[in-house]
Amino acid sequence: MSDDPREPPTGDHLQRVLLEAANARCVVVHLDRVLAEVLARGPYPPAVAGLLGEALVVTALCSSGLKFEGRISLQLRSGSALSLLMADCTDDGGLRGLARFDAKALAAGSAGSVDLRRLAAGGTLTMTLEPSDRGQTYQGIVPLLGSGMAEAMEAYFRQSEQLETRIRVIVRDGAAAGILLQKLPGEAPDPDGWNRLGRLLDTVSVDELQATDSATLLHRLFHEEPRRLFPARPLAFHCPCSRERVMAVLRSLGEAELTDILESRGEVDVDCQFCNENYAFDRLDLEQLIRNDAPEVPDGGSIH
């Protein structure tokens, strides 16, 4: 496959290359509209917006390793100023994310540079792989390490997957970009390959990462390496919530609790925390749910 960058990919996208001699993969992600759409659902202070951008980029980078139809989610939870940072990405490039924070604690600790170890002190990082056919879910949890999401994910891969990984991320001026270099399981034909790739990655500045399209950057870095370049794939904001999923969750509460809600409140309002979509159920809807004659949804259990 040619990686002649005459027609560079544009817009939000992901591109990956397999580097055969070193038995490694490299992935580049650029986000523009997705970042704007996620941040528009804020408001987020700059420190949180930056980390949310980093989380979106690293989640998209990691999604390229999905070997099934489904999604990958990243969750950072802590008892500190940044209590929750979440992003997920489907195998076909649907991305979303959100953050929860304590504005007062954030303002109190905002002196100096943004450091994840301070904003989410004592936090844990969880990565979940969920096949869409409801097959076996895989989850890895590690203590949070590193000053940003790139370092935190490098530590995750080292501890949880024993995969050597290098990640660089830049979030600036309303756009975000990232590059991931990861050793794949198994022997590499060239024992020095990994070190050589690392030295090549060291030559990429964050300015170059942000300003250069993925095909040009991957060509610049690896044109002397035996490689397989895959076509760029588009990424877009997508939230899979739906009225049917919310109904399935309500139905799972059971007849007694639904009757109680109907008698005490008469209606239910559910907001999707990712996309702010509102789902309202009035008395008639609730009565229908209690009679259990609303259409069945096979994929129940979560509104997301």
Q: Which of 189, 184, 192 is nearest to 162 (CA)?
A: 184
Six-digit token string for 135: 């097959």
Contact (CB, 8 A) for 158 and 35: no
CB of 106 to Zn ion, least distance (A): 25
CA 121 to chain centre: 21
CB of 184 to Zn ion, least distance (A): 34
Cα 72 to Cα 87: distance, rounded to the nearest angstrom: 9
User: Residue 252: helix, strand or coil by DSSP?
Assistant: helix
CB nearer Zn ion, residue 40 or residue 211: 40
CB of 87 to Zn ion, least distance (A): 14
CB of 199 to Zn ion, least distance (A): 43
Helix runs in the chain, H state only: 33-39, 46-63, 103-108, 116-119, 149-156, 193-202, 206-211, 214-222, 243-252, 255-264, 283-291
Q: Which of 196, 163, 198 is nearest to 179 (CA)?
A: 198
Cα 299 to Cα 304: distance, rounded to the nearest angstrom: 10
DSSP state of 231: P
CB nearer Zn ion, residue 157 or residue 279: 279
CB of 240 to Zn ion, least distance (A): 7
Cα 183 to Cα 213: distance, rounded to the nearest angstrom: 23
CB nearer Zn ion, residue 30 or residue 304: 304
Site residues for Zn ion per CB under 5 A: 239, 241, 272, 274-275, 277
Cα 176 to Cα 174: distance, rounded to the nearest angstrom: 7
CB nearer Zn ion, residue 239 or residue 262: 239
CA 142 to chain centre: 16
Cα 160 to Cα 74: distance, rounded to the nearest angstrom: 14
CB nearer Zn ion, residue 194 or residue 274: 274
CB nearer Zn ion, residue 31 or residue 272: 272
CB nearer Zn ion, residue 222 or residue 279: 279
Q: Annotate 202-218 with DSSP letters as a single string.
A: HT--HHHHHHS-HHHHH
CB of 277 to Zn ion, least distance (A): 5
CB of 272 to Zn ion, least distance (A): 3
Q: Which of 87, 91, 107, 75 is nearest to 35 (CA)?
A: 87
CB of 59 to Zn ion, least distance (A): 16
